[in-house]
Structure 1
Amino acid sequence: MNRKRIRRLLAASMLGLFLLVAMLGGGQAVWAHSGTSLAYSDIRMGDEAVNYDLRIDMYDLRVAAAPNDPDVGDFSPEALQKFVKVHKDDVEAYLLGKIHLYADSLPLKGALLSLEATEALDQPYAEAKLRFSLPDKPEHFVLDYQAVYDDVDQLHLSYVTVALKEDGSDKQSYVLNYNNREVELGRISLLRAVKQFFILGIEHLITGYDHILFVLSLLIGARSIKQILGVVTAFTAAHTVTLLLAGFGVINLPGKLVESVIALSIIYVALNSILNKNASKHNLFLAFGFGLIHGCGFAATLSEMRLDGGQMAASLLTFNVGIEFGQLMIVLLLYPVIHYARRVRWTMPAMSATISVFGLIWLIQRAFL
């Protein structure tokens, strides 16, 4: 064997020894990920909450939740304890942004209760205890699990166990992968869907201050019961059309655009009632035109839900009926106030100016901030 070959073999041996020491040296667990990307989800359905115990590969979680952490490659016990302490908020934001639970189509609000560094299969794992508030025992339950797949590893596997009773009994098990990321249990009844989405529609309108101010602006511009019935009917017809189209996915406008135009509609209709002496003649067209955009705004609420396909039409229709019922309540409450306030000359211009200011604030927030 010539000297050059001997030197090459020695160099290769030294390089291999150096790499081995670098991976194992000093008891410092600085090692590459083994390629086994796993997570274990234990879900228990309670009367008031869903308790979600997630054990997930520490490497996956660190790269996904805190990719800019300078210690992301350090797996010493000290580094892992530092991670779960310093990056708890990052982990909570990541997990709640990637793991979604739905009860009877409504999204559940979750929180991270605790985060600990553990070990499984001779690898570092993180154990995250999540809790999702549950207003009522659901008939239809969906787990939408999106963690890791698109961030770290497409070969990630998630083993899911769902206990339908709080004592842990009546368990069902699933394996989720890149092409199958959901668990769906049960089916919402027609009666429950009708009741739930009717109430949701009422709540959405009553708590939607921008929609209320728009309706108020229309009422200010109307001069008679006939005109009030006309603008309310036009507004209802318009937002019903776009609500149904958006709900079935026929149209899909950017949320920022929709919300900005809704704010603009409030400004325009409020100022029009002050500056235009013939505002009542144009309010019918304004109610219908801007109502189309408001319908897309109503549909945005439904976009956060997981509607049961079999109850899609019933859910959309009863949600819209709830909106109309809430709208009727608003009109019946506001009309007497406006009727008597007209007796004071400056009241209507002052109300319209105040409404336009609110609309301007919302427009700036939605379009530019």
Structure 2
Amino acid sequence: MYQTALISLWRSPLPCRDRCPHLSGLRLKVALLFIALNLCLGFAGTAVRAHVFQSSEAIVFFNRDATSFALRLNLNLEAILAGIDPGVTDTSDSPNAKEYDRLRRLPPEQLQKEFKAFLPEFIAGLRIELDGEPAEVTVQTDTFRDVGDLSVARASSVLLNGALPPGAKVFTFGWDGAFGTVALRTISARARSSHIEIIENGETSTPLVIDDLKARSMVDMITDFMVIGFQHIIPKGLDHILFVLGIFLLSIKLRPILAQVTAFTLAHTVTLGLGTLGLIDVPALIVEPLIAASIVYVAVENILHEVLSPWRPVVVFMFGLLHGLGFAGVLKQFNIPDGEFVPALLSFNIGVEIGQLAVIAAGFLLVGLWFGNKPWYRQRVVIPGSSAIAAVGAFWFVQRVAF
């Protein structure tokens, strides 16, 4: 099916200008085919990654009125019970692979018995502290799904409860390194930036101030996500910054910049929403190299063309879809409730747009305003700048593919 779609795309006629029509159409088709092929590989790759020792998720809830806290663990329980080394890239490579496969074939009630037998060791492997003192926890509920597709890891959930002493200030969490990597996050009555932290190698989380995690207003939530979106561009999104600078360098005139930025914004808004909702799920190992490739493409085209080509906004739109998936990877971590999704998505996207506009404004103030009308602007600014951007993008592409 994928091959037929790609062949059809290649054979389909594409509009182009009188100047170099075959070359422009070919470049656009190559870009589209490159993206389509890698997206197909991305969807197919989900099956390949099925046996990876997946990271667990720990979600902590604080209820001051009830003087208690709850900790929900979403995990690949069979991998922990079987003693799979978290360092393996594929559970099939572990010496305990047979035990892992046996556990995965157990019905929920039998898996629950295995967990109860392991429970003392599991509780002993947890490090939950309040104000530096160990906190006692008990299992309130556990949920084990039916045996399904054995090519996909079965998700299990364990809900723990613990007492929250009056006046407790600080919470920390950690567990045995043999249990693997865990993403710790907090949640309150409204989705918010709160705290998200990846804990590896048996380390302990940074201290969480309990009073800072109480419910917040809608205005607070919107502000939080605008800040998160902006910070994902400045200072954390160097790859996105280079892509936007590549768009800016082609021409400092408003029309070329507006055409590209509009295409990029529309595209990443679509995949940001769909990716956050889980309707599109392309692995980061596919998306991240393609984002690097998009930087190279835009920079190289700046060198080859002096003006905006007819296919450039289309290609920027296609690459914008990829960048949107990268943005979605950030927003998905918050597991935003349905009732808060739209304002959180819009405020995050507004933050991203403000960040992008800030990059363009900085580029204009640094070089465009002073040198944009100079006859040597292209030779001394556009070509060297684009060459540097292409080199960095190429390095990232190789790095992300190889490692």
- Do the structures match in fold with TM over 0.5? yes
Rate the CA distance shift 1:293–1:129 in 2: closer, same or farther, 3 A.
closer
Rate the CA distance shift 1:328–1:252 in 2: closer, same or farther, 3 A.
same
Is residue 108 from structure 1 mapped to residue 137 from structure 2 by the alignment? Answer: no
RMSD of aligned residue pairs (Cα, Å): 3.4
Q: For 2:250 and 2:261, locate their aligned partners in 1 and report how far apart those are by CA, in whole Å.
A: 12
Q: For 2:273 and 2:200, locate their aligned partners in 1 and report how far apart those are by CA, in whole Å.
A: 36
Q: Which moved more, 1:232-241 or 1:261-270?
A: 232-241
Please point out which of 111, 119, 136 is paired with 1:37. 119
Is residue 205 from structure 1 mapped to residue 239 from structure 2 by the alignment? Answer: no
Q: What is the 5 A alignment of 1:130-169?
A: 130-134=204-208, 137-139=211-213
Rate the CA distance shift 1:230–1:300 in 2: closer, same or farther, 3 A.
same
Name the structure where strand makes up a greater proportion of residues: 1
How far 1:138 sits from its partner (Å)? Answer: 4.4
Is residue 347 from structure 1 mapped to residue 375 from structure 2 by the alignment? Answer: no
Give the aligned residue type for 2:119. Answer: S
Is residue 300 from structure 1 mapped to residue 388 from structure 2 by the alignment? Answer: no
Q: For 2:228 and 2:119, locate their aligned partners in 1 and report how far apart those are by CA, in whole Å.
A: 40
Q: Which moved more, 1:327-336 or 1:304-313?
A: 304-313
Query: Is contact 2:193–2:228 with CA below 8 Å preserved after alignment?
Result: no
Rate the CA distance shift 1:109–1:222 in 2: closer, same or farther, 3 A.
same
Uncovered stretches (5+) of structure 2, i.e. residues with no partner: 1-114, 139-173
Query: Is contact 1:198–1:321 with CA below 8 Å preserved after alignment?
Result: yes
Query: Is contact 2:287–2:322 with CA below 8 Å preserved after alignment?
Result: yes
Give the secondary-structure state (helix, strand or coil) at the position aligned to 1:132.
coil
Q: For 2:133 and 2:316, locate their aligned partners in 1 and report how far apart those are by CA, in whole Å.
A: 46
Which residue pairs with 1:323 in the alignment?
A: 352
Give the aligned residue type for 1:212. Answer: I
Which residue pairs with 2:317 in the alignment?
A: 288
Which residue pairs with 1:151 in the alignment?
A: none
1:207-247: CA deviations, max 9, x gaps? 20100100101111135112212211111111111101111
Larger radius of gyration: 1
Query: Is contact 2:276–2:332 with CA below 8 Å preserved after alignment?
Result: yes
Q: For 1:136 and 1:277, locate their aligned partners in 2 and report how far apart those are by CA, in whole Å.
A: 56
Query: Is contact 1:106–1:306 with CA below 8 Å preserved after alignment?
Result: no
How far 1:188 sits from its partner (Å)? Answer: 5.0
Give the secondary-structure state (helix, strand or coil) at the position aligned to 2:185.
strand
How far 1:260 sits from its partner (Å)? Answer: 0.7
1:325-344: CA deviations, max 9, x gaps? 11111111112334234433
Query: Is contact 1:260–1:362 with CA below 8 Å preserved after alignment?
Result: yes
1:83-116: CA deviations, max 9, x gaps? xxxxxxx965445724633244644337699xxx
Q: Identity across aligned pairs (percent)?
A: 29
**How many residues of Structure 1 are paired with residues of Structure 2 in the alignment?**
241
Give the aligned residue type for 2:196. Answer: L
Rate the CA distance shift 1:94–1:236 in 2: closer, same or farther, 3 A.
farther
Q: Which moved more, 1:328-337 or 1:249-258?
A: 328-337
Give the secondary-structure state (helix, strand or coil) at the position aligned to 1:346.
helix
Query: Is contact 2:182–2:200 with CA below 8 Å preserved after alignment?
Result: no
Rate the CA distance shift 1:52–1:367 in 2: closer, same or farther, 3 A.
farther
How far 1:283 sits from its partner (Å)? Answer: 2.9
Rate the CA distance shift 1:275–1:366 in 2: closer, same or farther, 3 A.
same
Is residue 268 from structure 1 mapped to residue 297 from structure 2 by the alignment? Answer: yes
Uncovered stretches (5+) of structure 1, i.e. residues with no partner: 1-32, 57-89, 114-127, 141-186
Give the secondary-structure state (helix, strand or coil) at the position aligned to 1:37.
helix
Rate the CA distance shift 1:263–1:35 in 2: closer, same or farther, 3 A.
same
